[in-house]
Amino acid sequence: MAGCVAHMLMGRRIDIIKEKLRSQRGRNFIVFLTFVGLSALLWMVQALNEFTQRDMRCPVVITHVPDTLTRITPLPEAINVNVRAKGTDMLKYSFRDDPTLTFDFRSYKQGNRMFLGDAAFKAYLRNKFGKDVEVQSVSPDSLIVEFTSSPPIKVPVRADVKAIPAVQMVQVGRPHSLTDSVEVYSLNGIPTSMRYVSTEPLTINEVKKSQIVRLALSMPRGMRAIPDSVDVAIEVEPMISRKVKTPVRVINAPAGTKIILMPSQIDVYYGVPMSTYQKANSDPKFDVVADYSKVKPGGELIPVEIVKIPKNFNHVYKSTDSLDFYIER
């Protein structure tokens, strides 16, 4: 029943629309829409026949490289090409990605490198885009890619990362690469002084949780590492703050002289990672000394310093920098 009612209402609305279109106002509206459509069509035809310019970022691919060669020179991310053509010729580039520039290594080989000078590059682009498209500019305007046939050498990786933990967090170990070593290729041999490969330097502040970051390797010119980037682990965990009463021992006192400190103990404050808290808290051994040789002439205070801190203890500081003393002869 409801379907029949809806069908009747729809039919009534269609009849109303037809009646309005048959009226003088409706016919005028149809004529108006026709002229608008024709104008838009004429404008489109005119626009497609006008010359336009467009910037393209074209990816680069090199094919037919022998398996015995390894590329050393990094390829550009893209070649920037500015072209000029009629709108009809540009239309095919409007609905797809910018074209990929594919170079056959065999066609441009010069020894163990591929070379395209300015003239060869532009000739390739003219052939790529066709005679109806004019290449206005290209950057870079030449392409030199170096290869080597020498075998690689495995070199350890070192993470050049400085991580600063957030408040109440502590760093666990040093930031380290999850890849122990990489294969290094070179155009002119690898010097014996190269003992490791470093990542690009990185400093991270306020580290609140453990994380892994991907970093590129910093390679000298004429060398390439495979892989060229590694994952670096930065580990932090909550820090537990504690203090302990620690005896102070006197050093560098004159022979036959007894130095009495007041007090003979000080508080040492420290933080330990949560994972090692139970073990570290059982008997934290700090070595705190009062150096008599640093007492100023006529001074009444003796400087105090911590000379030994247990492993994995962080943010260590003492309750005082000096103590009263007297000499017992």
pLDDT digits (tens, 9 = 90+) for 90-126: 666 666 788 899 999 999 999 889 998 888 888 888 8
Looking at 95, 116, 148, the residue that finishes a domain is 148
276 in any annotated domain: yes
pLDDT at residue 271, rounded to an integer: 83
Same domain, 66 and 133: yes
- CATH number of residue 219's parent domain: 2.170.120.40
- 190 & 267 share domain: no
Q: Based on the domain organization, do 172 and 118 belong to the same domain?
A: no
Confirm if 101 and 145 have CB atoms less than 8 A apart.
no
In a domain, 32, yes or no: no
Predicted local confidence at residue 44, as pLDDT: 55
Residues 64 and 113 in one domain: yes
Q: State whether 88 and 163 are in the same domain.
A: no
Count of alpha carbons within 13 Å of 88, Cβ hemisphere only? 4
Considering the domain boundaries, does residue 323 fall inside one? yes
Q: What's residue 243's pLDDT?
A: 87
Residue 57 lies in a domain: yes
Longest dimension (CA), the chain: 127
Residue at 165 is within a domain? yes
In the predicted model, residues of the chain with pLDDT beneath 50 are 48
3-state secondary structure at position 180: coil
Residues 220 and 281 in one domain: no
Number of domains, the chain: 3
Is 228 found in the same domain as 188?
Answer: yes
CATH of the domain at 318: 2.170.120.30
SS3 328: strand
CB within 8 Å of 291: residues ≥ 6 apart: 251, 252, 302, 303, 305
Q: Where among 234, 262, 279 does a domain terminate?
A: 234
Domain assignment of residue 256, yes or no: yes
C-alpha distance from residue 10 to each of 1, 236, 307 (Å): 15, 69, 93
d(CA 151, CA 131): 44
Q: Answer yes or no: do 110 and 177 share one domain.
A: no
Residues 61 and 137 in one domain: yes
183 and 227 both lie in a single domain: yes
Amino acid found at 254: P
4 domain-assigned: no
Out of 210, 234, 258, pick the residue that ends a domain. 234
pLDDT (0 to 100) of residue 159: 96
Same domain, residue pair 162 and 226: yes
Domain contains 203: yes
> Is residue 115 domain-shared with residue 96, that is, in the same domain?
yes
Residue written as token pair 């999850």: 178
Q: Which domain holds residue 288?
A: 240-328
